[in-house]
């Protein structure tokens, strides 16, 4: 198979240092160019990646087989829908959208066009996490999971990210939590949500077949309190997620693993993937239900 021609949508840190660096060094990919909403930033990113800046999105769409996205979700969903309708494959960021209607519209475009799709939830593409999930699947018998993701945006590379400040940890790190809970405990059938300080949200999930889990998510904890924890327990005891630190190289490697998954789908259409657009839509449905529970103070049931 010849190299897949990929365009980069986005010009920020995550676009250049992770998506762009991954594309530029992946042996099965040709980095065609960069498009961004700010032409000056697109030129800067393109120079750093030794590629071309596109002034017109349609021109980039015409030159590529696939796109990788590192833009806010509301920007992503509009462009990705257009790209799918044009027959372009999609490597999407999480969340794929911030409304159920928009996520489902994108999914329908993907299905109608028959294009490949992967949602880049970082840890799902880290080798140690993948091995751990296979181990849990082999053991089986898990009754409950617990995840805590506590961060502080201030002073970091996402400090100036407006959508993260508006939507909070629920929508930013919530997809990461669900990407680990769902493959072990199964689909979520209901959620109850409660708020804490800042953007802190506490979630109680009921899963299929009676399993349950809890998640505490925030982007506004004191910096000294930042950290992640995740474990499951069941008949075989307790299993804690590997605490693999992700430096710049690890992030790029994870993105390249996601690219490999996209390329495999392109080569073998209709094979699907656990982190394809269907997963992306389900995450949005669950997070929207959690948001409804926060607003109403009631448990929200989810259909299949």
Residue range 163-175, pLDDT digits in tens: 999 999 999 999 9
What's the length of the chain? 304
Superfamily of the domain at 4-122+249-276: NAD(P)-binding Rossmann-like Domain (3.40.50.720)
Q: What is the 3-state secondary structure (H, E, C) of the chain?
A: CCCEEEEEECCCHHHHHHHHHHHHHCCCEEEEEEECCCHHHHHHHHHHCCCEECCCHHHHHHHCCEEEECCCHHHHHHHHHHHHHCCCEEEEECCCCCCHHHHHHHHHHHHHHCCCEEEECHHHHCHHHHHHHHHHHHHCCEEEEEEEEECECCCCCCCCCHHHHHHHHHHHCHHHHHHHHHHHHCCEEEEEEEECCCCCEEEEEEEHHHCEEEEEEECECCHHHCEEEEEEEECCEEEECCCCCCCHHHHHHHHHHHHHHHHHHHHCCCCCCCCCHHHHHHHHHHHHHHHHHHHHCCCEECCC
Short-list 47, 16, 50, 46, CA closest to 34: 46
pTM (global) more than 0.85: yes
Q: What are the C-alpha distances in Å from 269 to residues 23, 29, 113?
A: 22, 18, 11
Tokens of 202: 């506490």
Whole-number pLDDT of residue 1 = 58
> Would you identify the CATH topology of the domain 124-241?
Dihydrodipicolinate Reductase; domain 2 (3.30.360)
Q: What is the pLDDT of residues 290-299, one digit of tens each?
A: 999 999 999 9
Task: Give dist(CA 200, CA 219) in Å, integer.
Answer: 7
Segments of the chain scoring below 70 in pLDDT: 1, 304
Residues 6+ apart with CB under 8 A from 273: 117, 118, 261, 264, 265
| Token representation of residue 58 | 């349609």
Instruction: Kindly compute the dihedral angle of the four CA atoms of residues 41, 44, 46, 52, in this order, to the nearest 10 degrees.
Output: 80
At residue 244, the pLDDT reads 83
HSE (CB half, 13 Å, CA atoms) of 231? 8
The predicted structure's pLDDT at residue 134: 97
**Residue listed under structure tokens 């490949």:** 116
149: Cβ contacts below 8 Å, ≥ 6 apart: 169, 173, 176, 177, 215, 216, 217, 218, 228
**All structural domains of the chain with their residue ranges:** 4-122+249-276, 124-241
Strand partners, 125: none
């Amino acid at each position: 198979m010849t190299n897949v021609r990929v365009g980069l949508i986005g010009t920020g840190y995550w676009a250049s240092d992770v998506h762009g660096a991954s594309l530029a060094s992946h042996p099965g990919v040709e980095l065609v160019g960069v498009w961004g909403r700010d032409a000056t930033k697109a030129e800067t990113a393109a120079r750093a990646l030794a590629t071309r800046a596109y002034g017109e999105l349609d021109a980039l769409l015409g030159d590529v087989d696939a796109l990788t996205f590192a833009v806010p979700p509301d920007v992503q969903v509009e462009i990705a829908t257009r790209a799918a309708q044009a027959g372009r494959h999609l490597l999407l960021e999480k969340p794929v959208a911030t409304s159920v209607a928009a996520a489902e519209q994108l999914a329908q475009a993907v299905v109608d066009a028959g294009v490949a799709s992967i949602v880049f939830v970082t840890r799902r593409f880290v080798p140690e996490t993948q091995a751990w999930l296979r181990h849990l699947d082999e053991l089986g018998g898990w009754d409950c999971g617990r995840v805590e993701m506590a961060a502080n945006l201030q002073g970091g590379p996402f400090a100036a990210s407006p959508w993260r400040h508006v939507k909070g940890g629920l929508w930013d790190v919530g997809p990461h939590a669900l990407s680990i809970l769902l493959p072990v405990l199964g689909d979520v059938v209901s959620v109850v949500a409660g708020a804490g300080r800042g953007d802190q949200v506490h979630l109680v999930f009921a899963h299929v077949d009676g399993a349950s889990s809890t998640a505490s998510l925030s982007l506004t904890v004191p910096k000294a309190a930042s950290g992640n924890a995740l474990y499951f327990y069941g008949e075989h005891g307790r299993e804690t997620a590997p605490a693999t630190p992700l430096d710049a190289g690890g992030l790029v490697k994870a993105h390249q693993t996601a690219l490999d998954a996209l390329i495999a789908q392109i080569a073998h259409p209709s094979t699907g993937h656990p982190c394809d657009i269907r997963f992306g839509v389900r995450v949005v449905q669950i997070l929207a239900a959690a948001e409804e529970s926060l607003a109403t103070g009631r448990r929200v049931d989810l259909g299949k």
